[in-house]
Amino acid sequence: MEAVRWAHGNPPSKKARPQASDYDQTIETLINLAVRRFFVKIYKIYGFPDTATATSWAQQAWTSTCKTANKRFSEVDSERIVRAIVTRASSARTHLRDKIRKMVCDIYRFNMDASKKSTKDTNIKLYNYLREGKPMRFCYKNWDDGGSAALPTGLNEPAIIFRGLQAELFKNHADIGIEFHAEFNPLPLPTIALMLTILEYGIESWRDGVYNADHAFTEKLYHSRYTEHLKQVNEWAALNEEVCIKIRSSMFKRILRLGNIQLNTGNIVGVALSNEARDRARAEMATRTGETDSENEG
């Protein structure tokens, strides 16, 4: 049984929120390793877990980390450490939020210099355009009709998803996505839903035609949006499960290519949609195998 050692010699106040920095470097390192496992659960299973679920995941992460390190702590000490892990849940989302928020302006061509009314009006028009339809245009890879009135294609494959995940989770071999790459191949549906939710937040920062840096990404505001996106991606996947798995495996491989990451991963086989969007998505899947990356990445 390991004895807990505190960073400053004495334990913090019982009223203080538990955090990894309360402990000495060895235990703090173990906690941070467990947090990585905990984050994987959030990305892969559900982006906004309730307290009971988050606690269960944190306990699993801490137990696995201690087992790997051949460490064992008392139940009382572990209970406090688990609470320290749970407090980090929002960080799993905000790290991705920060990456996506920076990309929205460039990828969707919002104009930061909105001092002129005409520029502001153009930004508002773009904001409204991206939110057209069900699912909304920003959920698609090919979202811009270029004035041709063409319908969007590539549902749930917007380029910003790949760029955001690569920048935050797959930048190098020390990142979570690389360490736990098997958990992300094929790219999980809840991961896609979370990225669409964060993308919606980033676009809503332009609602008034000027960038609102104070627009908050809170669980209160965006948990319900997440459940809508999750419902939509699950319905999309059910249209053709085999093809969708292959598409999501290709999505994972694209993220690796963006970061020039080489892995021996092997080959994997195998908002509710409107009726019109469902039919288009089903028809589009019928023309794809999902196995090749030559299907116009965009």
pLDDT by position in tens, the chain (length 298): 788 889 888 888 888 899 999 999 999 999 999 999 999 999 999 999 999 999 999 999 999 999 999 999 999 999 999 999 999 999 999 999 999 999 999 999 999 998 899 999 999 999 999 999 999 999 999 998 776 768 899 999 999 999 999 999 999 889 999 999 999 999 999 999 999 999 999 999 999 999 999 999 999 999 999 999 999 999 999 999 999 999 999 999 999 999 999 886 443 333 556 656 666 676 676 666 666 554 554 4
SS3 154: strand
> What is the predicted pLDDT for the residue at 228?
98
Residue 151 DSSP one-character state: P
Would you say 44 and 183 are in contact if contact means Cβ atoms under 8 Å apart?
yes
> What is the predicted pLDDT for the residue at 107?
95
Would you say 86 and 58 are in contact if contact means Cβ atoms under 8 Å apart?
yes
> What is the predicted pLDDT for the residue at 146?
73
Would you say 298 and 154 are in contact if contact means Cβ atoms under 8 Å apart?
yes
The total of other beta-carbon atoms located within 10 Å of residue 79's CB is 14
| Domain boundaries of the chain, sorted by first residue | 20-87, 92-286
CA distance 265 to 263: 6
The total of other beta-carbon atoms located within 10 Å of residue 25's CB is 10
- Per the confidence metrics, is the pTM higher than 0.95? no
CA distance 124 to 120: 6
